[in-house]
Structure 1
Amino acid sequence: MKDAARTLAWDDFRLINAVAETRGLPAAAARLGVDHSTVFRRLRHIETLLGMPLFERHRTGYTLTAAGEEMAALAARVDEDITAVTRRLIGQAPAPSGEVRIATSDSLLVDLLMPMLARFRAANRSIRLDLVVGNVALNLSRRDADVAVRATDTPPETLVGRRAARIAWALYAAAAMPPPADPVAEADWVCLGDNLGALRVVRFARGTVPPERLAGRFDTVLGLAHAIAAGIGVGHLPCFVGDIWPGLVRLAPPEPDYAADLWLLTHPDLRHTPRIRTLMDSLAEQIAAQRPLIEGQRPRG
């Protein structure tokens, strides 16, 4: 019995406990995630090691012998101790801490991310945020940033992350101005500048609107939104910007061809770092809650 005690493992006690509580091998096997024959074979091996039966087999199920009652009671106590220690250690685990450098654009930060970052900071006081704002792609391999929140359909292959939403774009005008019946033929336009010239919305404006009615170009989405609200011209904006600004009105439904994916990206070496993982999980959850707005499904009435 002494040598057998050294041989028995915690999985053996779990098996004894499962059979004792379910009073049958199939139910015990289901609880343990193994097949019926495995439970039968392991139970016979345990009883052989101990040199005595732990269960009596009846038509109504398995009942504990006196030795089985002792072993089952021991298994229950060990299970309770393990659970208690685990809960205590989890409670004592240090909270994620340190600095996270986030790269994103002005419009994403101001009109989408800022409230999310505020909620994240309130829940994670040991994490400091360092924001890098701009449309230039930073090198996360050189630690120019730890996390990038970007709108792109072609994220760099050197980064890992998750696609959080699909950003819809639609045509907007100043709410104070009469809406043009035919924006292309009648209205002055504003669009993004050469730094964002690869976007389809920019190519559309430059290729369709007569040059004399292209009133202005802006190198940021936030600047473009202010220009439209000021009445300089009509223009395309992400719906999460245009649909929440009180000075703007949507002129047409979102154009699917102009949509782009919103990505949360980091370097592979950082993805399991607690502060990085905590931030990305928080942003992914909060962005998912705002997906109808981001994807243009919630226009202002």
Structure 2
Amino acid sequence: MKDAARSLAWDDFRLIDAVAATRNLPAAAAKLGIDHSTVFRRLKAVEALLGTPLFERHRSGYTLTPAGEEMASLAARVDQDITAVTRRLSGQAPAPSGEVRVATSDSLLSDLLMPMLARFRQANPAIRLDLVTGNAALNLSRRDADVAVRATDSPPDTLVGRRAARIAWALYGAPGVTTEGDWVCLGDNLAGLKVVRFARAAVPAERLAGRFDTVLGLAHAVAAGIGVGHLPCFIGDSWPSLIRLQPPEADYASDLWLLTHPDLRHTPRVRALMDSLGEQITAKRPLIEGTMPREG
């Protein structure tokens, strides 16, 4: 069977596909542009070569046997592969299209991803973006989203993707504000972060001016002068109203991941977005990782 399968030509697969699609020999012959008797003779030859029948003849027409179903499925995949290759080689490959739902946090979206998504859309106008923001990780296995851009050191085992950068955190304040004054930090919903545990342990309660349930809200509070606080360097080093007061603390850093479900990783629109964001985030790694000198 294995050696016999190697002897099959592309025309044999086209024959199997045509009979499976039309379920009768005259229609298959018309589809292939050959006569009825030739289809009958070649089908018998293929079945003899494989040593097993591919079709059963009933009053309703030709139906696939289990072996025939496998061969018809293979024929369809071969046809798709050949079509894709010839289109690509001739410069006619269709552009990725459709909708991609992206889950991320508000701070990552507004201060890092938005310009990247704009460039991606310019290069892929047939792809629509559906953005979902929040700090809770959506369940990609239930397709709450197609792609997740998350800061985490423990991505779910059920997802696949790439670690794009390491997010550095440092202490920032508004001009004129010092570490001797009030502090602000993140709230209970982000208590798992080391920066939150530090603030609770090291800052006296009477000096903790406020807690915020989003990183973006915390950044605005620091910029407004409510207190000093730890922020991701991609925010702190890019906002003119923020001043870095201490160097990044390695223990507070977390990985930035681009994640998707295994069933979606080869989908053209998902792959296009993952590749684009991966390249653009790599170019921004000095800012994200806190190693880019601040102008001025």
Q: List per-residue Cα deviations over 1:169-188 (Å, max 9, x = no partner).
A: 0000002x2x42xx2xx220
CA shift digits 1:6-35 (9 cap, x unpaired) = x9xxxxxxxxxxxxxxxxxxxxxxxxxxxx
**CA deviation map 1:76-102 (0-9, x unaligned):** xxxxxxxxx947645111111000000
Does residue 205 (structure 1) correspond to residue 196 (structure 2)? The answer is no
**Match in the other structure for 2:172:** 172
Rounded to whole Å, the distance in 2 between the matches of 1:143 and 1:298 is 37
Q: Where has structure 1 moved over 2 Å in runs of 4 or more?
A: 85-90
Shift of 1:298: 1.1
Is residue 275 of structure 1 aligned with residue 275 of structure 2? no
Conservation of the 8 A alpha-carbon contact between 2:173 and 2:228: yes
Amino acid at match of 1:281: D
Match of 1:214 among 192, 208, 211: 208
Aligned letter for 2:227?
G
1:126 matched residue in structure 2: 126
Query: For 1:228-243, what aligned pairs fall within 5 Å after superposition?
Result: 228-243=222-237
1:189 to 2:183 alignment = yes
Deviations 1:96-127 (A, max 9, x none): 10000000000000000000000000000000
**Residue 284 in 1 paired to residue 278 in 2?**
yes
Q: Distance in 2 between matches of 1:154 and 1:88?
A: 38
**1:154 alignment counterpart:** 154
Distance 1:271 1:90, change over 3 A: farther
- Which letter maps to 1:227? A
Assess, with a 3 A threshold, how the Cα gap between structure 1 residues 90 and 257 changes in structure 2: closer, same or farther: farther
Q: Secondary structure at the match of 2:91?
A: helix
CA distance in 1, matches of 2:88, 2:168: 46
- Give the 5 Å matches for 1:1-301: 86=86, 89-175=89-175, 177=176, 179-180=177-178, 183=179, 186-300=180-294, 301=296
Deviations, residues 280-300 of structure 1 (Å, cap 9, x unaligned):
000000000000000000142
Write the deviation string for residues 250-280 of structure 1: whole angstroms up to 9, x where unpaired. Answer: 0011000000000000000000000000000
Name the SS for the 1:293 alignment partner.
helix
In structure 2, relative to structure 1, the CA distance for the partners of 1:163 and 1:90 (3 Å cut) is farther
Please give the TM-score of this superposition, normalised by the length of structure 2.
0.70
Point out where structure 2 has 5 or more consecutive residues left out of the alignment. 1-6, 8-84
- Helix, strand or coil: the match of 2:292? coil
Q: 1:93 to 1:200 in 2, by over 3 A?
A: same
Say which SS state the counterpart of residue 109 (structure 1) adopts. Answer: helix
CA deviations 1:199-233 (Å, max 9, x no partner) are 00000001100000000000000000000000000
Partner Cα distance (1:159, 1:239) in 2 = 27
Gaps of 5+ in 1: 1-6, 8-84
Matched residue count: 214
C-alpha RMSD over aligned residues: 1.8
Larger radius of gyration: 1
Paired residue for 1:49?
none
TM-score (norm 1): 0.69
Post-superposition shift, 1:151?
0.2
1:32 aligns with none
Q: 1:199 to 1:125 in 2, by over 3 A?
A: same
The separation in 2 between residues aligned to 1:276 and 1:160, in whole angstroms, is 12
Partner of 1:11: none
